[in-house]
Every structure is written in structure tokens, then in C-alpha cells.
């Protein structure tokens, strides 16, 4: 285990995202984990939209068109797994 506490969690996410286990790569496990993560991120979309909308309002003349499919990427799933997405939402709500 490495010195930073978040390193093991990031490694765990990568392992689960790719479906790696002791027996090798398992595409079924990878698909299940990805669906699990996307469902959790999907439930956070209204909160994510409010954060993005507030950021857009700060910029002058910016339209607020949200493409929800961009939230189902590996990046957003990783941010959810690491707790970064929830932290961003809490910070945006505290303004």
C-alpha cells in the first residue's frame, strides 16, 4: 500500500473498471461495475447540473446547454468513486 490514502482507492477503481481479478480480466464484472457507477452518477445529475449552471452564470453570455451523456464518462465515475464529485456539489451549494 502506498503512502497516500487515496492511492489505493484510485487503484481499486481502475481494477474494478477494467474487471481485473485474481483470475485475470473479466469483462462481465467490468460491465456490471460500470453500470453500477453510471447509475449512481445518473442520480447525481440534477446536482451536477446546478453546479455547472452556477459556473456558467459566472461567465458572461454563456448559454446553459447540458449534455447529460458527458456525465457517464469514466472521469465522472472516478470522481464519484473518489468522493470528488460530492465535494464539488457541496461547495457549489454553499455559495
Strand duo 20-21 + 24-25: pairing: antiparallel
Distance CA 27, CA 17 (A): 9
Place of cell 462481465: 28
Domain ranges of the chain: 27-93
Q: Which of 44, 56, 55, 50 is nearest to 93 (CA)?
A: 50
What dihedral do alpha carbons 52, 58, 63, 66 form, nearest 10°?
Answer: 0
pTM: 0.67
Digits of tens for pLDDT over the chain (95 positions)?
445 666 899 999 999 999 998 899 999 999 999 999 988 888 877 666 665 565 555 554 555 455 566 677 899 899 989 988 888 877 777 76
Amino acid at each position: 500500500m502506498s503512502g497516500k490514502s487515496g492511492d489505493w482507492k484510485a487503484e481499486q477503481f481502475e481494477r474494478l473498471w477494467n474487471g481485473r481479478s485474481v483470475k485475470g480480466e473479466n469483462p462481465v464484472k467490468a460491465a456490471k461495475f460500470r453500470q453500477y457507477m453510471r447509475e449512481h452518477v445518473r442520480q447525481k445529475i440534477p446536482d451536477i447540473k446546478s453546479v455547472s449552471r452556477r459556473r456558467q452564470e459566472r461567465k458572461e453570455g454563456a448559454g446553459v446547454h447540458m449534455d447529460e451523456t458527458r456525465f457517464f464518462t469514466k472521469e465522472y465515475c472516478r470522481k464519484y468513486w473518489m468522493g470528488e464529485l460530492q465535494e464539488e456539489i457541496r461547495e457549489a451549494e454553499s455559495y
